[in-house]
Structure 1
Amino acid sequence: MQKRLQKLIILCFWLLIWELFTRLVNNSFILVGPLETVRHIVILMGRASFTGILYFSSVRILSAYFLAFLLALVFAFIAYRYPFFESLIQAPLFLLRSLPVASFVIILLFFLGRGSLSFFISFWMSFPVFYFNFLEGLKTLDRSTLEMAKLFRFSLWNRFRYIFIPGIYPQILSSAKLAMGLSWKSGIAAELIGQVRQSIGYQLMDAKVSLEMGDVFAWSIIMIVLSKFFEWFVLFLLKKIFSKGSV
């Protein structure tokens, strides 16, 4: 209860700073305050296209996120068992992790339709985060435990269930949290640069062109709320499914 109260006080403090800074600027074309942003969010929620826009962006970004999680887990196990495979894919993954989102979007526009941009960008931005974290976790597993499992002839499934997953559980949680924010930021950026209609990114660009700074802030807050909600939801699921007590 005390921690929740502390978080609420911190939130109110920064909202107050935001409001004070808005009054100092005193220019709604540059900066709008929290109350004005809430008013714009309510207006946006009343539009018929609002839920469709949220659905369009959320489905593509989240499906890319979960696919990246599953494939990274598989690739990390293969790389752990076969060092040559790790060396083989290391260079392109480092390149993907370093490549600016804008450059990647422009390159993909030549090969893909606009509608699938956010999916592919979110996938390729989050996949290296999962992969490198999972692989690092596997490399730090206790060798004596692995030798014991081999001695007692544990099946591959039992090793996975009782040794590997509990062993990389912290990396699973940390990478899931980090990749969620990255997936949303890169996915929305891809929609904005690629001008993908009926998406959150397109609404941000349209609001900016129309000089509707209230809508820019409103869509930005909506994106942050969606990202944090799905981050909480995924972490909740992972703790239920992969926690040591339930694995």
Structure 2
Amino acid sequence: MIKKTIKKLALAICFVLICEGLYLLIDNPIIFPSPFSVIGIMIADLGQKQFYQITLVSLGRVLFGVFASLLLGILIAFLRFFHQNMSWIDRLILILRSIPNVTLVILFLFWVDGEKSIFFVMFLVLFPIVYQACVDALYTIQKQWSTVFEIYPQPRSYMIKAIYVPMLADTLQSVIVSISSLGFKVGVMAEILSQVRLGIGHSMQIAKLNIDIASLTAWTLWLLVLIFLIEKGIKKGIVTIEKKKEKEYGEG
């Protein structure tokens, strides 16, 4: 564990030194800022109340978008699975996945305010991913267990609760991790284009307008750190839940 930490620290130091070398070589902070300037800005951010407000606002937007996409994606996937005459949903999903994210932001800015446009854009980007993953998994389950289902028919409600939902767990775990990181990327992009008053995207936009590449880089790194922590937290939570289930199963 200690060796692994030392190795990571050494790699980080090497990366910083390489960036500093490039900074000295280019000799233009507008094009390539000093990594020490970026680190200094990030350290200063930690002491500012507004930094936490900005981060929490963006985090709240993303979590809300992820939750809505996950909930409706699962529900509509089950609806489509049990009602074969609703194949038009697949065509709608294909259309949604084909529309560029930037186009969605621009369109929604004509229809709703910036805050709502962020949610709708995130939802329309994340929802198809959840839906498609769940539908594919449901059909795979049906194909693998079709013989058992024919021999031992059960009410639909029982099959959903006792078979489909538990067997979707692995798919949902990977989907949650995937859409959480993607949600931040799409959400920040939407914040930049919609020009909301508070958020990571807004701060990045301000840094861009001020030609403050160091601050822009700092916010980019904070975004990466936030995504890393969220993914780490989700994965750790999943492992904890699985261990708890295994323990309960063993005791039972």
State the TM-score, normalized to the length of structure 2: 0.84
Tell me, yes or no, if the aligned pair for 1:165 and 1:242 is still in contact at 8 Å: no
The 1-side partners of 2:230 and 2:157 are apart by: 29
Equivalence for 1:138: 138
Distance 1:128 1:20, change over 3 A: farther
Equivalence for 2:98: 98
Equivalence for 2:208: 208
Equivalence for 1:44: 45
Task: Provide structure 2 residue ranges, at least 5 long, that are not aligned to the other structure.
Answer: none
* Partner SS state of residue 49, structure 2: coil
Tell me, yes or no, if the aligned pair for 1:54 and 1:200 is still in contact at 8 Å: yes
Equivalence for 1:191: 191
When structure 1 is superposed on structure 2, of 146-155 and 66-75 the one drifting more is: 146-155
Distance 1:239 1:132, change over 3 A: farther
The 1-side partners of 2:238 and 2:54 are apart by: 27
Task: Please list the CA deviations of residues 102-159 of structure 1 after superposition, one character each: whole Å capped at 9, or x if unmatched.
Answer: 2111100111111223222211111111111111111111546354356445454543
Task: Please list the CA deviations of residues 20-79 of structure 1 after superposition, one character each: whole Å capped at 9, or x if unmatched.
Answer: 433332321112243322211122233332222112211111111011111111111111
Equivalence for 2:72: 71
When structure 1 is superposed on structure 2, of 237-246 and 71-80 the one drifting more is: 237-246
State the TM-score, normalized to the length of structure 1: 0.85
When structure 1 is superposed on structure 2, of 205-214 and 12-21 the one drifting more is: 12-21
What do you get for the CA RMSD once the two structures are aligned? Answer: 2.8
Equivalence for 1:54: 55
Tell me, yes or no, if the aligned pair for 2:122 and 2:186 is still in contact at 8 Å: yes
Amino acid at match of 1:37: V
Q: How many equivalent residue pairs? A: 246
Task: Please list the CA deviations of residues 204-239 of structure 1 after superposition, one character each: whole Å capped at 9, or x if unmatched.
Answer: 011011111111011111111112222222333344
* Partner SS state of residue 31, structure 1: coil
Quote the sequence identity (%): 25
2:62 aligned with 1:28: no
For residues 110-189 of structure 1, what are the structure 2 equivalents within 5 Å?
Answer: 110-141=110-141, 143=143, 145-149=145-149, 151-156=151-156, 158-189=158-189
The 2-side partners of 1:141 and 1:125 are apart by: 26
Distance 1:21 1:199, change over 3 A: same
Distance 1:83 1:48, change over 3 A: same
The 1-side partners of 2:146 and 2:233 are apart by: 32
2:224 aligned with 1:224: yes
When structure 1 is superposed on structure 2, of 150-159 and 115-124 the one drifting more is: 150-159
Tell me, yes or no, if the aligned pair for 1:176 and 1:235 is still in contact at 8 Å: no
When structure 1 is superposed on structure 2, of 88-97 and 52-61 the one drifting more is: 88-97
The 1-side partners of 2:197 and 2:75 are apart by: 34
